[in-house]
Amino acid sequence: MARHASELQSLLVDGSFDGEVYPNEPLARHTTYRIGGPARFFVQVDSIGALGSLLEVCERSGAAWYVVGKGSNLLVADEGFSGVVITLGRDFRMFNYDEDARIVSAGGGCSLSALIREMFRRSLGGLEFAAGTPGTVGGALRMNAGSRQEWIGSRVRSVTTVRPCEGLRRYGADQLLWDYRRSSIPADEVVVECELSVKPVDPFCIRGKMEASLSRRSKTQPLSLPSCGSVFRNPDGASAAQLIESCGLKGCRVGGAEVSSVHANFIVNADGATAYDVIRLIKQIQTKVHEVHGIDLQPEVRFLGFA
């Protein structure tokens, strides 16, 4: 990256650049794991123009880039990331409701929890199942947040992205595929906005579903300790948590990383865990579950900065 830094640095120090730039920013400050070394540049872009310019310069100069929302579902290497970490700011956190069409438009940088609260305030139903889910709208779309029974992709009317050097792209609902914890949104495009179908619902009904979702999370997830959420995808017809627990791995620890005693599919940062601690524990779990059940658990958590 150093050979190409001049053009990138010129953009980021330009007073007209619509965003905020933090060189060598520790990513532990921006992940729910509270783990991770520095990014060469951590950049909050506040407009489509700034995002497009930054992506174009990164692509042209060969600088690696990665988009983060609230930093959930992400493990960053202890050495950090030698590229540009991008987060969506001001213009990407907007919310609008078209009452006639019954469509909510939300920016990719919107907090999912904030969007759900705003919908509740307007007595709009459709996302109650996601109450308490961390992250942004963009991240929720990319990972198709939800369960096998209810998921955000089922509410989508359209998704708008930015593709480096090409600009905006809009996908209708019929152009995207949604699967358990995944979507067909291209990995090299940045989600900047979506349209969601909603409907007016009795607010007492919405509140009941939201409270049930929040109560379930508080009882079944280790919310008092830093984590990335579920570490592994559930295999077809099985529960990753049950497989791990059946191997006697609850409470298993490597350094400061520990398999939660509350939910076995959570690895928590119990005491100053490093990314290396988490990786070693992930591999131990995969090895044990394969030995006992013959199943290869696939990580749901995403990795940044690893060789």
Sheet holding 156-163, edge to edge: 95-98, 103-107, 190-197, 156-163, 167-172
Residue environment code for 85-99, b if the CB has 16+ CB neighbours within 10 A, otherwise e = bbbbbbbbbeeebee
Do 268 and 258 form a contact (C-beta atoms < 8 A)? Answer: yes
Q: Which two three-digit tokens encode residue 124? A: 């709009």
> Which residue from 230, 249, 231 is spatially nearest to 293, judged by alpha carbons?
249
Catalytic member of 105, 183, 213, 230: 230
Is 189 part of the annotated catalytic residue set? Answer: no
Helix, strand, coil in percent for the chain, rounding step 5: 35, 30, 40
> Which residue from 215, 156, 10, 98 is spatially nearest to 145, judged by alpha carbons?
156
* DSSP code string of 104-157: EEEETTSBHHHHHHHHHHTTEES-GGGTT--SBHHHHHHTT-B-SS-BGGGGEE
Catalytic member of 181, 183, 195, 227: 181
> Which residue from 233, 236, 250 is spatially nearest to 288, judged by alpha carbons?
250
Handedness of CA 19, 20, 23, 24 (dihedral sign): negative
Rounded Cα distance between 55 and 64, Å, is: 10
Is 300 part of the annotated catalytic residue set? Answer: yes
Rounded Cα distance between 112 and 134, Å, is: 7
Which are the catalytic amino acids? 181, 230, 300
